[in-house]
DNA sequence: TTGTATCGTTTGACAAGTCAACGATTGATA
DNA sequence: TATCAATCGTTGACTTGTCAAACGATACAA
Protein backbone atom coordinates (compact mmCIF):
# COMPACT_ATOMS: atom_id res chain seq x y z
CA UNK A 1 0.00 0.00 0.00
CA UNK A 2 2.00 2.95 -1.24
CA UNK A 3 1.21 6.64 -1.00
CA UNK A 4 -0.35 6.75 -4.44
CA UNK A 5 -2.86 4.07 -3.55
CA UNK A 6 -3.66 5.82 -0.31
CA UNK A 7 -4.27 9.10 -2.08
CA UNK A 8 -6.59 7.35 -4.51
CA UNK A 9 -8.62 5.98 -1.64
CA UNK A 10 -8.76 9.30 0.16
CA UNK A 11 -9.76 11.05 -3.03
CA UNK A 12 -12.60 8.55 -3.39
CA UNK A 13 -13.77 9.56 0.06
CA UNK A 14 -13.63 13.20 -0.97
CA UNK A 15 -15.70 12.56 -4.08
CA UNK A 16 -18.21 10.53 -2.11
CA UNK A 17 -18.59 13.34 0.38
CA UNK A 18 -19.23 15.86 -2.36
CA UNK A 19 -21.71 13.63 -4.13
CA UNK A 20 -23.76 12.70 -1.12
CA UNK A 21 -23.77 16.18 0.39
CA UNK A 22 -24.97 17.84 -2.76
CA UNK A 23 -27.60 15.21 -3.46
CA UNK A 24 -28.84 15.47 0.12
CA UNK A 25 -29.27 19.20 -0.26
CA UNK A 26 -30.93 18.85 -3.65
CA UNK A 27 -33.42 16.35 -2.30
CA UNK A 28 -34.25 17.86 1.08
CA UNK A 29 -33.65 21.56 0.58
CA UNK A 30 -31.40 21.56 3.66
CA UNK A 31 -27.64 21.55 3.55
CA UNK A 32 -26.36 18.42 5.28
CA UNK A 33 -24.57 20.41 7.96
CA UNK A 34 -27.55 22.59 8.78
CA UNK A 35 -29.88 19.60 8.81
CA UNK A 36 -27.60 17.84 11.30
CA UNK A 37 -27.33 21.01 13.34
CA UNK A 38 -31.09 21.41 13.56
CA UNK A 39 -31.44 17.76 14.56
CA UNK A 40 -28.78 18.04 17.23
CA UNK A 41 -30.44 21.10 18.73
CA UNK A 42 -33.89 19.57 18.42
CA UNK A 43 -32.87 16.38 20.18
CA UNK A 44 -31.49 18.35 23.10
CA UNK A 45 -34.35 20.81 23.34
CA UNK A 46 -32.05 23.65 24.32
CA UNK A 47 -28.27 23.68 24.07
CA UNK A 48 -25.24 25.91 23.95
CA UNK A 49 -23.01 26.21 20.94
CA UNK A 50 -20.26 24.39 22.78
CA UNK A 51 -22.46 21.29 22.87
CA UNK A 52 -23.10 21.56 19.14
CA UNK A 53 -19.37 21.86 18.58
CA UNK A 54 -18.62 18.72 20.58
CA UNK A 55 -21.42 16.77 18.97
CA UNK A 56 -20.68 17.76 15.40
CA UNK A 57 -16.91 18.21 15.57
CA UNK A 58 -17.16 21.45 13.70
CA UNK A 59 -15.41 24.77 14.17
CA UNK A 60 -16.95 27.45 16.37
CA UNK A 61 -16.87 29.98 13.59
CA UNK A 62 -18.90 27.73 11.32
CA UNK A 63 -21.49 27.22 14.04
CA UNK A 64 -21.93 30.92 14.62
CA UNK A 65 -22.47 31.50 10.92
CA UNK A 66 -24.83 28.59 10.35
CA UNK A 67 -26.93 29.61 13.33
CA UNK A 68 -27.11 33.17 12.08
CA UNK A 69 -28.52 31.89 8.81
CA UNK A 70 -30.90 29.46 10.52
CA UNK A 71 -32.08 32.32 12.72
CA UNK A 72 -32.70 34.56 9.72
CA UNK A 73 -34.76 31.78 8.15
CA UNK A 74 -36.77 31.44 11.35
CA UNK A 75 -35.55 27.92 12.17
CA UNK A 76 -33.86 28.62 15.49
CA UNK A 77 -34.04 31.13 18.33
CA UNK A 78 -31.00 32.16 20.35
CA UNK A 79 -30.76 33.89 23.71
CA UNK A 80 -28.00 34.32 26.27
CA UNK A 81 -27.97 31.97 29.22
CA UNK A 82 -29.15 34.10 32.14
CA UNK A 83 -26.91 32.16 34.55
CA UNK A 84 -23.82 32.47 32.37
CA UNK A 85 -23.79 35.35 29.99
CA UNK A 86 -21.00 33.86 27.92
CA UNK A 87 -23.23 31.11 26.63
CA UNK A 88 -25.84 31.32 23.90
CA UNK A 89 -28.79 28.98 24.25
CA UNK A 90 -30.26 27.69 21.01
CA UNK A 91 -33.56 25.96 20.33
CA UNK A 92 -35.52 25.13 17.19
CA UNK A 93 -38.82 26.78 16.29
CA UNK A 94 -42.19 25.32 15.33
CA UNK A 95 -41.42 26.13 11.74
CA UNK A 96 -38.24 24.05 11.85
CA UNK A 97 -40.09 21.07 13.33
CA UNK A 98 -42.68 21.31 10.61
CA UNK A 99 -40.23 21.65 7.72
CA UNK A 100 -38.02 18.87 9.02
CA UNK A 101 -41.04 16.59 9.36
CA UNK A 102 -42.06 17.59 5.88
CA UNK A 103 -38.92 16.47 4.12
CA UNK A 104 -38.82 13.40 6.34
CA UNK A 105 -42.09 12.35 4.79
CA UNK A 106 -41.19 13.36 1.25
CA UNK A 107 -37.84 11.67 0.86
CA UNK A 108 -38.23 8.15 2.00
CA UNK A 109 -36.61 5.97 -0.56
CA UNK A 110 -35.04 8.00 -3.29
CA UNK A 111 -31.74 8.83 -1.66
CA UNK A 112 -28.53 8.25 -3.52
CA UNK A 113 -27.11 6.03 -0.78
CA UNK A 114 -30.17 3.82 -0.68
CA UNK A 115 -30.07 3.41 -4.43
CA UNK A 116 -26.40 2.56 -4.44
CA UNK A 117 -26.05 0.31 -1.42
CA UNK A 118 -27.99 -2.41 0.34
CA UNK A 119 -28.85 -2.21 4.02
CA UNK A 120 -25.97 -4.51 4.93
CA UNK A 121 -23.54 -2.53 2.84
CA UNK A 122 -24.64 0.69 4.52
CA UNK A 123 -24.18 -0.95 7.90
CA UNK A 124 -20.73 -2.05 6.90
CA UNK A 125 -19.78 1.35 5.53
CA UNK A 126 -20.95 3.05 8.66
CA UNK A 127 -18.82 0.73 10.77
CA UNK A 128 -15.71 1.36 8.71
CA UNK A 129 -16.21 5.11 8.84
CA UNK A 130 -16.70 4.99 12.56
CA UNK A 131 -13.46 3.10 12.94
CA UNK A 132 -11.71 5.58 10.70
CA UNK A 133 -13.11 8.61 12.48
CA UNK A 134 -12.34 7.30 15.93
CA UNK A 135 -8.63 7.34 15.04
CA UNK A 136 -8.76 11.13 15.31
CA UNK B 1 -33.80 3.71 7.31
CA UNK B 2 -35.24 7.17 7.86
CA UNK B 3 -33.84 10.53 6.86
CA UNK B 4 -32.22 11.11 10.23
CA UNK B 5 -30.21 7.90 9.96
CA UNK B 6 -29.20 8.76 6.43
CA UNK B 7 -28.00 12.19 7.47
CA UNK B 8 -25.95 10.64 10.27
CA UNK B 9 -24.25 8.36 7.79
CA UNK B 10 -23.59 11.15 5.32
CA UNK B 11 -22.24 13.35 8.07
CA UNK B 12 -19.85 10.54 9.02
CA UNK B 13 -18.60 10.57 5.46
CA UNK B 14 -18.11 14.31 5.67
CA UNK B 15 -16.12 14.02 8.89
CA UNK B 16 -14.03 11.21 7.44
CA UNK B 17 -13.23 13.32 4.42
CA UNK B 18 -12.11 16.23 6.57
CA UNK B 19 -10.01 14.03 8.82
CA UNK B 20 -8.20 12.15 6.11
CA UNK B 21 -7.64 15.17 3.91
CA UNK B 22 -6.11 17.24 6.64
CA UNK B 23 -3.95 14.40 7.94
CA UNK B 24 -2.75 13.67 4.41
CA UNK B 25 -1.69 17.27 4.00
CA UNK B 26 -0.06 17.39 7.42
CA UNK B 27 1.96 14.26 6.69
CA UNK B 28 2.98 14.85 3.08
CA UNK B 29 3.04 18.62 2.76
CA UNK B 30 0.76 18.33 -0.29
CA UNK B 31 -2.94 18.98 -0.26
CA UNK B 32 -4.77 15.82 -1.30
CA UNK B 33 -6.24 17.46 -4.39
CA UNK B 34 -2.95 18.88 -5.59
CA UNK B 35 -1.17 15.60 -4.94
CA UNK B 36 -3.76 13.78 -7.04
CA UNK B 37 -3.51 16.43 -9.72
CA UNK B 38 0.25 16.13 -9.94
CA UNK B 39 -0.03 12.35 -10.14
CA UNK B 40 -2.66 12.51 -12.85
CA UNK B 41 -0.52 14.84 -14.93
CA UNK B 42 2.63 12.85 -14.23
CA UNK B 43 1.04 9.58 -15.29
CA UNK B 44 -0.02 11.09 -18.59
CA UNK B 45 3.21 12.92 -19.30
CA UNK B 46 1.41 15.84 -20.89
CA UNK B 47 -2.28 16.56 -20.73
CA UNK B 48 -4.89 19.25 -21.14
CA UNK B 49 -7.02 20.55 -18.31
CA UNK B 50 -10.06 18.89 -19.79
CA UNK B 51 -8.43 15.51 -19.19
CA UNK B 52 -7.70 16.44 -15.59
CA UNK B 53 -11.30 17.47 -15.19
CA UNK B 54 -12.61 14.16 -16.47
CA UNK B 55 -10.15 12.15 -14.44
CA UNK B 56 -10.65 13.99 -11.17
CA UNK B 57 -14.30 15.02 -11.51
CA UNK B 58 -13.48 18.48 -10.34
CA UNK B 59 -14.65 21.87 -11.55
CA UNK B 60 -12.69 23.69 -14.25
CA UNK B 61 -12.30 26.76 -12.11
CA UNK B 62 -10.66 24.75 -9.34
CA UNK B 63 -8.22 23.23 -11.85
CA UNK B 64 -7.17 26.58 -13.19
CA UNK B 65 -6.49 27.85 -9.69
CA UNK B 66 -4.64 24.79 -8.47
CA UNK B 67 -2.44 24.77 -11.55
CA UNK B 68 -1.65 28.43 -11.06
CA UNK B 69 -0.43 27.66 -7.56
CA UNK B 70 1.49 24.57 -8.69
CA UNK B 71 3.09 26.65 -11.41
CA UNK B 72 4.14 29.33 -8.94
CA UNK B 73 5.72 26.65 -6.79
CA UNK B 74 7.59 25.30 -9.79
CA UNK B 75 5.79 21.95 -9.87
CA UNK B 76 4.18 22.21 -13.30
CA UNK B 77 4.76 23.98 -16.60
CA UNK B 78 1.92 25.06 -18.84
CA UNK B 79 1.91 26.05 -22.49
CA UNK B 80 -0.76 26.37 -25.13
CA UNK B 81 -1.22 23.49 -27.52
CA UNK B 82 0.32 24.68 -30.79
CA UNK B 83 -2.25 22.70 -32.79
CA UNK B 84 -5.23 24.00 -30.85
CA UNK B 85 -4.74 27.29 -29.12
CA UNK B 86 -7.76 26.77 -26.90
CA UNK B 87 -6.01 24.04 -24.95
CA UNK B 88 -3.38 24.39 -22.24
CA UNK B 89 -0.87 21.56 -22.02
CA UNK B 90 0.40 20.75 -18.56
CA UNK B 91 3.36 18.66 -17.45
CA UNK B 92 5.20 18.19 -14.17
CA UNK B 93 8.74 19.42 -13.57
CA UNK B 94 11.82 17.64 -12.27
CA UNK B 95 11.26 19.32 -8.93
CA UNK B 96 7.78 17.84 -8.68
CA UNK B 97 9.06 14.34 -9.45
CA UNK B 98 11.70 14.71 -6.78
CA UNK B 99 9.40 16.06 -4.10
CA UNK B 100 6.72 13.49 -4.82
CA UNK B 101 9.28 10.71 -4.60
CA UNK B 102 10.54 12.24 -1.40
CA UNK B 103 7.29 12.07 0.49
CA UNK B 104 6.61 8.67 -1.02
CA UNK B 105 9.70 7.43 0.78
CA UNK B 106 9.04 9.32 4.01
CA UNK B 107 5.46 8.36 4.68
CA UNK B 108 5.19 4.65 4.30
CA UNK B 109 3.30 3.36 7.25
CA UNK B 110 2.14 6.17 9.46
CA UNK B 111 -0.97 7.19 7.64
CA UNK B 112 -4.22 7.55 9.51
CA UNK B 113 -6.04 5.09 7.28
CA UNK B 114 -3.43 2.42 7.72
CA UNK B 115 -3.51 2.83 11.47
CA UNK B 116 -7.28 2.66 11.59
CA UNK B 117 -8.06 -0.11 9.11
CA UNK B 118 -6.63 -3.43 8.01
CA UNK B 119 -5.82 -4.18 4.39
CA UNK B 120 -9.07 -6.08 3.93
CA UNK B 121 -11.10 -3.33 5.50
CA UNK B 122 -9.48 -0.78 3.21
CA UNK B 123 -10.28 -2.99 0.25
CA UNK B 124 -13.85 -3.26 1.39
CA UNK B 125 -14.18 0.48 2.00
CA UNK B 126 -12.80 1.23 -1.42
CA UNK B 127 -15.32 -1.09 -3.02
CA UNK B 128 -18.24 0.49 -1.20
CA UNK B 129 -17.12 3.99 -2.12
CA UNK B 130 -16.73 2.99 -5.72
CA UNK B 131 -20.26 1.63 -5.74
CA UNK B 132 -21.51 4.80 -4.12
CA UNK B 133 -19.63 7.08 -6.48
CA UNK B 134 -20.68 5.22 -9.58
CA UNK B 135 -24.32 6.06 -8.80
CA UNK B 136 -23.54 9.62 -9.92
C1' DT C 1 -16.35 35.10 -45.74
C1' DT C 2 -19.03 35.75 -42.33
C1' DG C 3 -21.96 34.48 -38.84
C1' DT C 4 -22.85 31.24 -35.38
C1' DA C 5 -22.20 27.42 -32.40
C1' DT C 6 -19.06 25.04 -29.64
C1' DC C 7 -14.84 24.24 -27.08
C1' DG C 8 -11.39 25.02 -23.44
C1' DT C 9 -10.08 28.09 -20.06
C1' DT C 10 -10.51 31.99 -17.06
C1' DT C 11 -12.75 35.04 -13.93
C1' DG C 12 -16.08 36.66 -10.40
C1' DA C 13 -19.32 35.82 -6.85
C1' DC C 14 -20.69 32.70 -3.54
C1' DA C 15 -20.68 28.65 0.17
C1' DA C 16 -18.66 26.32 3.95
C1' DG C 17 -14.83 25.01 6.32
C1' DT C 18 -10.26 26.29 8.98
C1' DC C 19 -7.28 29.10 12.21
C1' DA C 20 -6.02 33.04 14.92
C1' DA C 21 -7.06 37.19 17.34
C1' DC C 22 -10.33 39.51 19.94
C1' DG C 23 -14.02 40.70 23.53
C1' DA C 24 -16.89 39.81 27.25
C1' DT C 25 -17.71 36.90 31.31
C1' DT C 26 -16.57 34.09 34.82
C1' DG C 27 -13.57 31.73 38.10
C1' DA C 28 -9.43 31.22 40.81
C1' DT C 29 -5.79 33.02 43.56
C1' DA C 30 -2.33 35.83 45.85
C1' DT D 1 -10.28 42.21 46.57
C1' DA D 2 -7.65 42.95 42.54
C1' DT D 3 -5.72 40.62 39.06
C1' DC D 4 -4.90 37.01 36.07
C1' DA D 5 -6.41 32.91 33.50
C1' DA D 6 -9.86 30.19 31.25
C1' DT D 7 -14.20 29.86 28.72
C1' DC D 8 -17.59 30.99 25.12
C1' DG D 9 -18.64 33.16 21.17
C1' DT D 10 -17.68 36.42 17.26
C1' DT D 11 -15.07 38.27 13.59
C1' DG D 12 -11.57 38.52 9.84
C1' DA D 13 -8.47 36.41 6.65
C1' DC D 14 -7.74 32.43 4.09
C1' DT D 15 -8.67 27.81 1.42
C1' DT D 16 -11.10 25.07 -1.72
C1' DG D 17 -14.99 23.89 -3.85
C1' DT D 18 -19.32 25.37 -6.90
C1' DC D 19 -21.90 27.80 -10.76
C1' DA D 20 -22.48 31.17 -14.27
C1' DA D 21 -20.80 34.53 -17.35
C1' DA D 22 -17.18 35.92 -20.38
C1' DC D 23 -13.40 35.09 -23.44
C1' DG D 24 -10.48 33.75 -27.24
C1' DA D 25 -10.02 29.92 -30.45
C1' DT D 26 -11.91 26.89 -33.80
C1' DA D 27 -15.28 24.55 -36.88
C1' DC D 28 -18.91 24.62 -39.85
C1' DA D 29 -22.70 26.47 -42.82
C1' DA D 30 -24.90 29.54 -45.72
Per-residue model confidence as pLDDT tens digits over A72-124? 999 999 999 999 999 999 999 999 999 999 988 876 566 889 999 999 999 99
Which nucleotide lies closest to A61 by the C1' atom and the CA atom? D10
Residue A66 in contact with partner chain B when CB distance is under 8 A: no
Candidate from B9, B10, B126 with C-beta closest to A9: B126
Domain harbouring B74, CATH code: 1.10.10.10
Residue B41 pLDDT level (bands cut at 50, 70, 90): very high
Per-residue model confidence as pLDDT tens digits over A22-34? 999 999 999 999 9
* Residues in B 106-125 with any Cβ partner in A closer than 8 A: 107-108, 111-117, 119, 121-122, 124-125
Q: What is the pLDDT averaged over residues A48-63? A: 98
- The whole-number pLDDT of residue A135 equals 87
Residue B9 near residue A113 (C-beta atoms within 8 A): yes
Judge whether residue B107 has pLDDT over 80: no
The boundaries of the domain holding residue B129 are 3-134
If one counts the domains in chain A, the total is 1
In chain B, the percentage of residues whose pLDDT exceeds 90 is: 90
Report the candidate in B3, B25, B16 with the shortest Cα–Cα distance to residue A57. B16
Residue B109 pLDDT level (bands cut at 50, 70, 90): low
> Counting one residue from A and one from B, how many pairs have CB atoms under 8 Å apart?
161
- The whole-number pLDDT of residue A105 equals 83
From chain A, pick out residues whose CB is under 8 angstroms from the CB of B14. 17, 21, 32-33
- Provide, in whole angstroms, the distance separating residue B50's CA from nucleotide C1's C1': 31
Taking phi over 0 as left and psi of -120 to 50 as alpha, with beta for the rest, A5 belongs to: alpha
Q: Do A14 and B32 touch (CB under 8 A)?
A: yes
Which residue of A21, A55, A133, A136 is the best one to mutate when testing the B interface, meaning the one whose CB has the most B CBs within 10 A? Answer: A133
Concatenated DSSP letters of A22-58: HHHHHHHSS-HHHHHHHHHHHHHSSEEHHHHHHHHT-
Amino acid sequence: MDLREISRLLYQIKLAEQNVASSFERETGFSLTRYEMLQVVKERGVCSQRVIKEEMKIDNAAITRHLKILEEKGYVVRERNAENHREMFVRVTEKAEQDLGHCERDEQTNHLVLQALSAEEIQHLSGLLQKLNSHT
